[in-house]
Amino acid sequence: MPTLLQAAGQGLRSAWPLLSLVIILLLIAGVTVWVDDPEINQTVIEALIRLIVVAGMYLFVGNSGIISFGHVGFMAIGAYAAAWQTCCPALKPTVMAGLPAFILHRSVPFLPATVIAGTLAAMVALVVGFFIMRLSGVGASIATFAFLAIVQIVYSNWDHVTAGTSGIVGIPVILNVPIATCASVVALTIVYGFQTSRYGLSLRSTRDDEIAARAAGVNVFRQRLIAFVLSAFLVGFGGALYSHFLGILSPDIFYFNLAFITLAMLVVGGVGSLAGAVIGVLVISSAIEVLRRLETGIDLSGVAVQLPPGSQEVFLGIFMLLILIFRNRGLTASREIAWPRRLSPHRSGDEISAEQK
């Protein structure tokens, strides 16, 4: 029996970095449902969607060490792919007449539509990554930004399929707090499973020392491509959820502003850990909501307080700069949440001394 308990305790301890994050999300979701305030619900749902996107970005960026500006492009691909499937069939021939016949007059249920959307984003990542993943450092980062620009230009001018800059309306608004929470837990589980697998360990070895990893027999291109495709699936899945949160789509939504915010979330929290991705999303989402309310204006004891438009981006930029200067590894120092010491089994001084030797 003690052996079984020890094994269970060891398993719980090894999964604690994931379980602790899931507990945090469940607590936030529970409080949100209990309060039942429409504005808070919207804020939490959007934060959970961004959590999926940032966690997907972390899967590649955090484990490979390559900064990607292009993942918002995969988010756009997933969002539009979901809209093509779930939008009202009566509206498609008018707004999206260029869609293939097999989808033009049909509507796909929400759940399979989001999975298909993520899969389409992953397929695009496989093609794009075949070329980009052969690059390293700044070259790879610039290439991902070029990909984002290409996606934005194509979707802005593909009028018969994306409705161009006019945008798509009539997308079913399905998302609620429980659905968004479940989706974010699934995303975190996938990311944590990858980073603790041999693929994640191999990829991190290329991040720490690419030359040594190659000398040890690690196929750098393959490991990066696997992570790039899987991360694109999660980001595309998050984009599909985002389309069913907004109810409308426009290419301008998925460009530099969103790319900056998602990357800021990852950097502020700590680019080297999954906990950093989660904490970064929670902190920046809270800051964005406060700044948004200040931009619209609030009344403090009879004194009107209102920030000028664009204050969100300015303050986020300053905050990100301060983090890079004074805590360059992020709020979590790129570490996962540690197992509470008081839950660790008591060990004698002799055992500790033996470990230190």
Model pLDDT for residues 240-279, shown as the tens digit of each residue: 999 999 999 999 999 888 998 999 899 999 998 999 999 9
Q: Which run of H or E residues covers position 305?
A: strand 303-305
Check residue 7 and give its pLDDT.
Answer: 61
Q: Tokens in use for 88?
A: 């009202």
Q: What is the mean pLDDT of residues 28-55?
A: 94
Q: Which residue has the higher pLDDT, 257 or 52?
A: 52
Q: Tokens in use for 200?
A: 């994640």
Find the Cα–Cα–Cα–Cα dihedral 27, 28, 33, 39, rounded to 10°. Answer: 170
Phi then psi for 168, rounded to 5 degrees?
A: -105, 135
Q: Which run of H or E residues covers position 45?
A: helix 38-64
Distances (CA, A) of 294 to 15, 39, 320: 40, 15, 20
Distance CA 9, CA 235 (A): 33
Model pLDDT for residues 184-203, shown as the tens digit of each residue: 999 999 999 999 999 999 99
Model pLDDT for residues 292-315, shown as the tens digit of each residue: 888 887 777 677 777 787 777 888
Check residue 352 and give its pLDDT.
Answer: 39
Distance CA 223, CA 116 (A): 24
Q: Is the pLDDT of residue 14 over 90?
A: no
Q: Please tell me the pTM assigned to this model.
A: 0.90
Distances (CA, A) of 209 to 77, 143, 206, 325, 343: 33, 22, 5, 24, 35
Mean pLDDT check: name the lowest of 13-27, 67-81, 110-124, 185-199.
13-27
Per the CB < 8 A criterion, the answer to whether 152 and 255 are in contact is yes
Distance CA 52, CA 195 (A): 15
Distance CA 329, CA 272 (A): 8
**Closest-CA residue to 231 (of 115, 121, 114):** 121
Distance CA 54, CA 125 (A): 16
Q: Which amino acid is at 12?
A: L
Distance CA 155, CA 161 (A): 8
Q: Tokens in use for 175?
A: 């998302």
Exposed, middle or buried: residue 294 (CB in 10 Å: 0-12, 13-18, 19+)? middle
Percent of the chain with pLDDT over 70: 92
Q: What is the mean pLDDT of residues 222-236?
A: 97
Per the CB < 8 A criterion, the answer to whether 95 and 83 are in contact is no
Q: Is the pLDDT of residue 1 over 70?
A: no
Q: Which run of H or E residues covers position 308?
A: none
Q: Which run of H or E residues covers position 210?
A: helix 210-215
Q: Is the pLDDT of residue 345 over 80?
A: no
pLDDT-derived band at 57 (thresholds 50, 70, 90) equals: very high
Model pLDDT for residues 58-105, shown as the tens digit of each residue: 999 999 999 999 999 999 999 999 999 998 787 888 888 888 888 888
Q: Tokens in use for 3?
A: 């052996």
**Closest-CA residue to 80 (of 8, 72, 147, 275):** 72
Q: Tokens in use for 122?
A: 């992953």
Give strand pairing partners of 303. Answer: 300
Distance CA 230, CA 221 (A): 14
Domain boundaries, the chain: 12-253
Exposed, middle or buried: residue 82 (CB in 10 Å: 0-12, 13-18, 19+)? buried
